[in-house]
Amino acid sequence: MNIEQLEYIVEVAKCQSVSKAAESLHITQSGVSLSITALEKDLGIKIFTRSRLGAIPTEEGKVIINKSIKALEAIQDIKKEAYFYSNSMSGSLRFEAIPGLMSPMVKTFSFLKKKYPNLNIEISEKGSSEIVENFKANKIDAGFVALNQEMLQDKVGSDFEPFVTGKMVACVGKTSPLAQRSRIHPEEIRNESLVLYKDDSVEWFVEDFSAKFGSVQVLYKTNNIHAIESALREGGAMTIGHDYSFLNHPSVISGDLVTLDLAPYPQQIVYFGWLKKPNEQMHMISKQIIQLFKQALTGTDLL
Distant-in-sequence, close-in-space partners of 180: CB < 8 Å, separation ≥ 6: none
Q: 3-class secondary structure for 276-295? A: ECCCHHHHHHHHHHHHHHHH
| Distance between CA atoms of residues 249 and 260, nearest Å | 14
Residues of the chain within CATH 3.40.190.290 domain(s) are: 168-268
- Right CATH number for 3-86 from 1.10.1040.10, 3.10.129.10, 1.10.10.10, 2.70.240.10? 1.10.10.10
SS3 58: coil
CA 53 to centroid of chain Cα atoms? 45
pLDDT in tens, 71-103: 998 888 787 666 655 555 666 778 888 877 777
Fill in the amino acid letter for 155.
Answer: K
pLDDT in tens, 136-184: 888 888 888 888 777 776 655 557 877 788 889 999 999 999 999 999 9
pLDDT tens-place values along the chain, 303 residues long: 888 899 999 999 999 999 999 888 888 888 898 999 999 999 999 999 988 888 999 999 999 999 999 999 888 878 766 665 555 566 677 888 887 777 788 888 888 778 777 778 888 888 888 888 898 888 888 888 888 777 776 655 557 877 788 889 999 999 999 999 999 999 999 999 999 988 877 888 899 899 989 999 999 999 888 899 999 999 889 999 988 888 778 899 899 999 999 988 888 788 888 887 765 555 566 667 777 777 776 666 655
Task: For residue 299, count other CB atoms closer than 10 A to its CB.
Answer: 10
| Distance between CA atoms of residues 35 and 31, nearest Å | 6
User: What does CATH list as the number for 91-165+271-297?
Assistant: 3.40.190.10
Let me know: does 96 contact 61? Beta carbons within 8 Å: no
Q: What is the pLDDT of residue 177?
A: 92
Q: Quickly list H helices, 44-127.
A: 59-86, 102-115
User: What does CATH list as the number for 168-268?
Assistant: 3.40.190.290
| pTM of the predicted structure, to 2 decimals | 0.59
Let me know: does 205 contact 230? Beta carbons within 8 Å: no
| Distance between CA atoms of residues 251 and 238, nearest Å | 14
